[in-house]
Amino acid sequence: MSAGSFRAPKGVAEYVDDRAAAFDAVREALTGAAQVAGYAMLELPVFEDTALFVRGVGESTDVVSKEMFTFTDRGGRSLTLRPEGTAGALRAIIEHGLDRGQLPVKVLYSGPFFRAERPQAGRYRQFSQVGVEAVGSDDPALDAEVIAIADAGYRDLGLRRFQLLLNSLGCRECRPGYRSHLLAYLAGFDLDPATRERAELNPLRVLDDKRPELAEMIAAAPMPVDHLCEECRSHYDAVRSYLDALGVPWSEAPRLVRGLDYYTRTTFEFSHELLGAQSGIGGGGRYDGLAADLGGADVGGIGFGLGVDRTLLACEAEGLTPGDEPRIDVYGIALGEQAKPTLVATLGQLRRSGVRTDMSFGSRGLRGAMKAADRSGAPWALLIGERDLSAGALTLRNLSTGEQVQAPLDDIDEIIRRITAEGEVDNAAHP
């Protein structure tokens, strides 16, 4: 098979050129919103012991029963490519004793996740997420903070046509009573064997079923929010009050349960109106009790996973182009081999000062090098020739206007001042 015949695996979203820059800009916006709230980066493995996801995510979920990429390593251990982030993040927090230190622990992570799903627009077998986890407090203000971080990340990208869907699933005290009500309701319907089995394991999974015939059956089903205990009701009221105080708009979604078993109390999802059936661009919720189930301290937690791929699709649907600023600020051109060492050294100095640079490599003539400079998107070209070396100067050409200015060859600060005089380089002269 020739190299040209290889293709990316089916169900993988791959990004090149401008879309790669846009993808990176989306990821940076979503992580940046968390970092300003004090969330520290956590780097996690992309595979874990399979038992971690079975216990943490839940056997009744589609994720565990149908969608995990599981394999046996050379030592006979069962490992799984991570299908979601919370279980692995909690494992790391527990393993390193962070759950027994200063609380809440606030962590941030990003990267690829894997599910064996049927590929379609916005639904991939390898997908990217930005996630946060806040572990060690049941304060409803923490719930509101986590939700507001996601909302801020989307708005920083310029997104407007999305909505926050909000629900409460109750706690381990009031959930059993609701479960009994829901099972009694479902007993009146002729469910297929697979759905009946799922309902016995966790009847809330039925509320998450998107099949039209199931949607009709559960139209009059009891809802979790109607069976909350007094403490959960108070918690939910406080979360909504804090969101109002933060200026985060929300909509009640009494059937929202999401696809993972560990959620308790606050559950939320961000939905974008222009993405059709795969409208979810991120979501999360509270998971009190999960840390203890995984062998850690009995502390509560809340987190989210925001889809980078789907958020990019939402940006494109709204006509937004994240990451469309120039990739570089200055494109260097050496007019002759004698000038090239000086050009290389000058560009190196500019990079160390925070100016993004590239240059013309090989033996291109001036015309070809200028075409490359134009294609680079840089606002400025920096030219050095033999005459410039003799005069101790270089030439800066504005690639938009064609105007040229001279700058001292040995004065990087002056070169930067010339480049930034018209505000065309935003990140130059960083300390």
- Tell the CATH topology of 3-174+228-317: BirA Bifunctional Protein; domain 2 (3.30.930)
Instruction: Please tell me the distance from the alpha carbon of residue 61 to that of residue 209, in angstroms, as a whole number.
Output: 11
Predicted confidence at residue 3, as pLDDT, reads: 58
Instruction: Please tell me the distance from the alpha carbon of residue 305 to that of residue 285, in angstroms, as a whole number.
Output: 9
Name the token pair of 114. 């894997």
pLDDT of 423 over the 50 cut: no
3 state DSSP class of 216: helix
What number is the average pLDDT over the span 97-107? 95
**Domain 3-174+228-317 and domain 330-420 have a common topology:** no
pTM for the full predicted model = 0.86
What number is the average pLDDT over the span 324-335? 90
**Average pLDDT score, the chain:** 90
What pLDDT, in 10s, does the model give residues 149-194?
A: 999 999 999 999 999 999 999 998 998 888 888 888 888 888 888 8
pLDDT of 427 over the 70 cut: no
What number is the average pLDDT over the span 26-47? 96
C-alpha 94: how far from chain center: 23
| Gyration radius (Cα) of the chain, Å | 27
> Hey, CA dihedral for 370, 376, 377, 381, is it positive or negative?
negative
Domain boundaries, the chain: 3-174+228-317, 330-420
C-alpha 125: how far from chain center: 16
Predicted confidence at residue 48, as pLDDT, reads: 97
pLDDT of 233 over the 90 cut: yes
What number is the average pLDDT over the span 264-272? 96
pLDDT band at 97 (very low <50, low <70, confident <90, very high): very high
pLDDT of 122 over the 70 cut: yes
Predicted confidence at residue 422, as pLDDT, reads: 52
What number is the average pLDDT over the span 80-95? 96
Q: Assess if CATH 3.90.1200.10 describes domain 330-420.
A: no
> Which has the minimum average pLDDT: 245-249, 324-328, 367-371?
324-328
What number is the average pLDDT over the span 230-235? 96
CB neighbour class for 79 (10 Å; exposed up to 12, middle 13-18, buried from 19): middle
pLDDT band at 2 (very low <50, low <70, confident <90, very high): low
Predicted confidence at residue 164, as pLDDT, reads: 98
